[in-house]
Structure 1
Amino acid sequence: MTHEEEQQFLNHLDKKLWVAADKLRSTLDAAQYKHTVLGLIFLKYVSDAFDIRHKELDTQFRDPDHEYYMDPEDFGGEGEEYEKDVAYELEVRDYYLETNTFWVPSVARWVFLQNQNKVVINGTIWITPEGDVLLEAPADEEQKRKCKRISSVGQLIDNALESIEVANPKLKGVLNKLYTRLQIDRAKLGELIDLIATIPFNHASLNSKDILGHVYEYMLGQFALAEGKKGGQFYTPKSIVSLIVQMLEPFKGRVYDPAMGSGGFFVQSEHFISAHQGRIEDVSIYGQEYNHTTWQLAAMNMAIRGIDFNFGKEPANTYTNDQHPDLRADFVMANPPFNMKEWDAGVATNDPRWQYGTPPSGNANFAWLQHMLYHLAPNGSLGLLLANGSMSSNTNNEGSIRRALIENDLVECMVALPGQLFTNTQIPACIWFLTRNKGKRTSAAGRKFRDRKGKVLFIDARNLGYMKDRVLRDFTQDDLNQVTEVFHNWQIGKGYEDEAGFCASVDLAAIEKHDYVLTPGRYVGAAAEEDDGEPFAEKMARLTSQLKTQFEESDRLEAEIKKNLTGLGYGI
């Protein structure tokens, strides 16, 4: 299947998803319907993935050439008893875990929800501890107490989510069991279940996890637009995340994001590792997030991908309740809120993280940067999205902190980004890449780094990208590869050359002459213009003459307009 056909499939999926969200838009605000829709999509995906493995196992149990073959002769011959034995084996959890398939209890499988949804819209059911459904309450009081009484679609969904948490302890307290409390018409919620049932998580050439990743990315982006600035706080454009991941290459070790949002950096790390034939098991994931619902989304995002993670005991403020105080990560990546104010309530001025200077109360940019450095291993590297002001500001100690970072040779690369990349802000942004070791060493990806001590690479990527719509810019994969290749070639010392207007390798002495300002445009210069063969003096004379003619024509047209207006009785 071609890339274009795959894209058509995903575009069709996008429309269907947004129709699903629209069904709730009139009764819920953006924040509520975001979690309502995403929670159901989560259930649909894990159920589909489970069903695929379920069918695969059923085939294997009946295949004489497979190691899991269940010979009917060993089970009394083909018939009802044999089918019961196969059905029993199909519910053995280990068969699913061995292929990293998420375990879904019977009451949380989509076919169960869809079937019982029709019943509870107009009635009540009782679910036994074994997952069987009774249409009437058990006569025995003890048995009745063991059953769950379900009298609404919301209860049915909440029960499914609760059963998943019980079966998957890593998700305890993570799933948003809010459907019973939502003021949604029963029929409308039932319609939503039927609509999401038509969302396919299987495709001829697309991996089901990639489809789900697209779903999450699309929905988070759409909700970010719908909610405005607040909604965009957890959403970083995929291309920017991919760029940082490509440049850092987190193949092995501990990966940390102290402002993780919905876990985009971890997801892209998994994609990158898989695309380069690495093993996700070689990476340990650590994250922290303050917003409770976003923390839940991140945990769901990891669970459905089978990625082991440590997001701390609870959602918490990174500055006042560090969930990983002893962590020293090999890779740190983040997109924290830009220019965050009043971030330091409850933070001591002598906090050990402020090794290079106390960040100002009015701006958390250098607090994020130093927090990440504090958690960086001796050979670790970090990539951090910050507002452009961080590269040049001298306000309230920011200049002295930046100078200390440069003088301690921690800054490896600065990338200036084009505007209009983010749904929630028009603030121009840049990426800081820092490392604790610029000496010769072999990276996690196997690259032989040269000695880069005393050098900083500047990349001006402001002219890259394209307008994906009227308001948002994005990078193509070629754009990402261009920036990444320059960075890696510079690191290994092969195939790199300064390019006017795009990239420059600069020593610390030159940065000192620029008062420790790190704006790439100061160092890469202007791109050379193509020589058209016309001498400069002659070109200036020609252009000046053209301008004079245009001014004269402008004056003539202005006089003509005034004359016409006077004739109409509107003299000016």
Structure 2
Amino acid sequence: MDYQELKLLEDDLWEAADQLRANSKLTASEYSMPVLGLIFLRHATTRFNDLLPEVLKAVPARATGALREDRLKLGFQSKAAIYLPESARYDYLAALPAGTNVGAAIRDAMIAIEDSVTDQKGQKLLEGALPKDYLGLEQDLLAELIKIFNRPALQTAKGDVFGRIYEYFLNQFAQSGAQEGGEFFTPPSLVRMIVNVIEPDHGMVLDPACGSAGMFVQTGHFIEEVCHKNTNDIDITFYGQEKADLNSKLARMNLAVHGLEGNIRIGNTFYEDHHQLLGTCDFVMANPPFNVDGVQVAKIKSQVGENQTGRLPFGLPGVAGKSKGKNNGDGETISNANSLWIQYFYSYLNASGRAGFVMASSASDAGNKDKEIRQKLVETGHVDVMMSIGPKFFYTRTLPCALWFFDKGKPDDLLDTVLMIDARNVYTVVSARSHVFTDEQLLNLSAITWLYRGEHEKFTALLASYQIRAGQYLSQLPERFASDEQQVNLLSQALRNFGQTTADAAIINTVRDRLGDEHCITDEAVEIYRTELIKLDKLAEGWGFALEAALAGIQPIQQAIAGLSPSSTFAERRSLQNQIETISPSLKAALAVLEVRHKCWLKVLDIAEKTLRARHWQNFAADVARNAKKALLPHDAKKREKPTLHDQGLEAIKRASYFIAQGHWLISRFPDGLYDDVPGLCKAVTKKEIEDSDYSLTPGRYVGVAHVSQSDDEGEAFIFRMKEIHADLAELNDLANILATKIQDVFAEMDE
């Protein structure tokens, strides 16, 4: 499921669920947890059903009843997944007969899950975490909610789909007042970026502002997808602390549904340190609240220094003065808590630990005491990477931010430098309010850190993966082009045959008589149709040559891609990339041809059907026209239509070109497969340079401005899109002029 499809699904689910709430007597706060509980249960059931066939293979056929269920439970535990008793499965609830007390059934399902999910010591991991307040809700509302979250797209959802839906609903509820303070949650793009850089694959992992445990869930994905291991098979433990009771419950639910175990405690991290992990963590990840004020100095003074509670090794930030607020009491308060969080994350690390966290952009340049703290941090040599992120990555706020990375295990040759990455111009637009990183953008940014650390084999492997993916889509083009050609030929022949029919004056007069005085089939309209056909016949040969040229270049490229082994060198991969890029112009030409050819033939079909009223002519191939229109028009994603022949052909070219462009992105910036500073993107900055810049850790101050290249695919894409928009605008202007003329004619007739 791509970003656009997921966005549509999120919107549909929220609109349906919120409409139900609007028609009930419930407030947002009363409604939020029951809904999130159902999303949890849907996710748990989807994962259960996905693993069930595999688990059943290990259950003896003779095992029945309670014995069979015990074997099933053991099987799911071995796969780090929740075993669901039959009465707690979403399918069971969705099939309940009319008249059943749905609220009681859901409550019992939640209790059954809490009882069945235990750790190795038999402790209930979800005790008290799942919502059970369903009895007071209207039965019809619950029944409709169950239907909403039982859609086919959710029954087969994979990957991070439910994580996104969780987050989306959490944020929507936050905006509607269901959560005090309106907390917002870390976007998956930023969580994945953090995980990619610090690579948490063992040991003790801490998030002292864990929210709904997104950092831990993504760590689990990283271990499975990158390390190719199961979290149950490695020594890793998750520790989380969260101030909000609601979020701590969501965190426990989120961990359980992903087959992860974690110790989540409730507490205000400024004043409470429940896990006592100072100096012991292998990894620290977090997205703390930005720019918090009002933290009481008296309560945190004891944290300064390197003693037992020394979570502030570099001292206190600036003090705002005395506060007499009801929550603060009398006394001095910290003006901004950003530097408290930064020091906490650093102090929790062991001698080789890594940290990655989200922070307000302003923290990279803040002055006074915050600057002194940054200076001490830089002098340790443990600031590893700083990355600027553009706006619109958060669902509810448009603020830009920065990602900070510490590494206490940095090799000696990197202790004097900090890698600065300015990623503000790297993003994909999902909507006017939302940006994300695609998988490839995440990997490309990660590749910069790989090269900086000397991990060249990862860079080569990434380049190879792009080339292989490009080859896979290139292999689809011959079949896609042939199908497209067949459909276009059917339509063009039908339209040519119709064109011949229009040359018969007797037939035209018969149609005019049948339609009456309002027929609109003028001699001029017939001539326009014939003229358009002649134009297309002249263009058809050139279109064919362009598509044949694209296909001719594909075969040697595919052979070259298949000819390289997985252990091929970077030099071999670079040579292959240069060869692959030679077909980019022909692919772009083919893409343009397909789009223009479809548009032109459909335009002539439109003239035939709307102006000449072709369906009233006896010899018009109406079925061929209808099928062609379906095949050569793009599908409507909002209506959940399946991709058409038009979409399939264009998508294969676009995806092949996309992965070729990703390889180009890597090679054009790092042509030797070694780290180098890239203007506008990255720079390895020395401590002296940072000192000369007043200890600023803002990448934009160091990386400079990118050189604009006319051959850069991103630049070409922008120019191409601008031309598309210009053409569309010209077409709309023409249409507007036609309409304006018609309106003037109508008014003129009225005046007469």
TM-score for both structures, normalised by structure 2: 0.57
Amino acid at match of 1:178: D
- Whole-Å Cα distance in 1 between the matches of residues 51 and 400 of structure 2? 46
When residues 213 and 199 of structure 1 are mapped into structure 2, their CA distance, relative to the original with a 3 A threshold, is farther
CA distance in 2, matches of 1:37, 1:453: 49
CA deviations 1:147-172 (Å, max 9, x no partner) are xxxxxx43332232122222221111
Cα deviation for residue 507 of structure 1 reads 1.0
Q: Tell me, in whole angstroms, the C-alpha distance in 2 between the residues paired with 1:468 and 1:211.
A: 15
Is residue 193 of structure 1 aligned with residue 146 of structure 2? yes
Q: Alpha carbons of 1:196 and 1:482: their partners in 2 closer, same or farther (altered >3 Å)?
A: closer
Partner of 1:100: 80
Cα 1:332–1:57 shift into 2, 3 Å: closer
Mean Cα deviation higher: 480-489 or 44-53: 44-53
CA deviations on 1:334-391 (whole Å, 9 max, x unpaired) are: 1111101113376231311111011341211111111111111110011111111111
Change (3 A) 1:67 1:235: closer
Most deviating of 236-245 and 21-30: 21-30
1:102-123 deviations in Å (ceiling 9; x for gaps) = 12234423354345573345xx
SS in 2 for 1:119: coil
- State the AA in 1 paired with 2:681: F
CA distance in structure 1 between the aligned counterparts of 2:445 and 2:95, rounded to whole angstroms: 51
Alpha-carbon separation, structure 1, partners of 2:39 and 2:93: 13
Q: Could you tell me how far apart the structure 2 residues matched to 1:489 and 1:40 are? A: 44
2:197 to 247, 271, 285: 247
Task: Report the 3-state secondary structure (helix = DSSP H, G, I; strand = E; otherwise coil) of the residue aligned with 2:402.
Answer: strand
Q: Equivalent residues in 2 for 1:153-552 (5 A)?
A: 153-168=102-117, 169-180=124-135, 182=136, 184-199=137-152, 201-203=154-156, 207=158, 210-224=160-174, 226-227=176-177, 233-276=183-226, 277-281=228-232, 282=234, 283-312=236-265, 315-326=266-277, 328-344=280-296, 347-351=299-303, 352-360=310-318, 361-395=334-368, 397-439=369-411, 451-492=413-454, 495-529=674-708
Shift in Å at residue 173 of structure 1?
A: 1.5
- Provide, for residues 3-48 of structure 1, a one-character-per-residue CA deviation record: whole Å limited to 9, x for no partner: 66x9758845762464134312443333443322110122233344
Does the residue aligned with 1:348 lie in a helix, a strand or coil? Answer: helix
Task: Give the secondary structure class of the aligned counterpart of 1:381.
Answer: strand
Q: CA deviation at 1:253?
A: 1.9
CA contact (8 A) 2:10 2:168 kept: no
The one-letter amino acid of 1:68's match is P
Which of 70, 74, 89 is the aligned partner of 2:67? 89
Hey, what does 1:39 align to over in structure 2? Answer: 37
Query: C-alpha distance in 1, partners of 2:254/2:144?
Result: 25
Quick one: distance in 2 between partners of 1:195 and 1:222?
17
Q: Is the 8 A contact 1:229 1:424 kept in 2?
A: no
Is 2:314–2:343's contact at 8 Å kept on the other side of the alignment? yes
Counterpart amino acid of residue 165 in structure 1: E
| 1:81 alignment partner in structure 2 | none
Identity %: 32
Give the whole-Å Cα distance in 2 for the aligned partners of 1:484 and 1:160.
42
**CA distance, structure 2, for counterparts of residue 530 and residue 438 of structure 1:** 35
Tell me the CA shift for residue 520 of structure 1: 1.2
Distance change (3 Å), C-alpha of 1:231 and 1:25: farther
For 2:179 and 2:435, the matched residues in 1 are separated by 17
Residues 48 and 84 in structure 2, CA contact (< 8 A), matched pair in contact too = yes
Structure 1: runs of 5+ lacking an equivalent: 61-65, 71-84, 122-152, 441-450, 533-572
Give the Cα separation in 2 of the matches to 1:421 and 1:269. 20
Q: Deviations over 1:379-437 (max 9, x none)?
A: 00111111111111114x11111111112222111111112222233333111111223
| SS at 2:302 equivalent | coil
Query: Counterpart amino acid of 1:433?
Result: F
Q: Distance in 1 between matches of 2:450 and 2:44?
A: 38
For normalisation by structure 1, the TM-score amounts to: 0.73
How far apart in 2 are the matches of 1:381 and 1:196?
39
- Please give the alpha-carbon distance, in whole angstroms, between the structure 1 residues aligned to 2:269 and 2:371: 24
- CA pair 380-343 structure 1, distance change in 2 beyond 3 A: same
| Contact 1:117–1:156 (Cα < 8 Å) also in 2 | no
Q: 1:294 to 1:9 in 2, by over 3 A?
A: closer
The answer as to whether partners of 2:168 and 2:395 remain within 8 angstroms in 1 is no
The alpha-carbon deviation at position 486 of structure 1 amounts to 0.9
Letter in 2 for 1:175: L
Which structure has the bigger radius of gyration?
A: 2
Give the AA of the match of 1:308.
E
Find the aligned partners of 2:409 and 2:55 in 1 and give their Cα distance: 49
Quick one: distance in 2 between partners of 1:229 and 1:406? Answer: 38
Stretches of structure 2 that go unaligned for 5 or more consecutive residues are 118-123, 304-309, 319-333, 457-673, 712-752
RMSD (Å) for aligned C-alpha atoms: 2.9
Q: Compute the displacement of 1:248 (Å).
A: 1.1
More moved, 293-302 vs 354-363:
354-363
Q: 1: distance between equivalents of 2:676 and 2:383? A: 20
- 1:199 and 1:299, CA in 2 relative to 1: closer, same or farther beyond 3 A? farther
- The number of equivalent residue pairs is 460
SS in 2 for 1:377: strand
Q: What is the letter of the counterpart of residue 74 of structure 2?
A: D
The AA in structure 1 aligned to 2:60 is: Y
Cα pair 1:234 1:294 within 8 Å, conserved: no
Counterpart residue identity of residue 276, structure 2: P
Tell me the CA shift for residue 54 of structure 1: 5.5
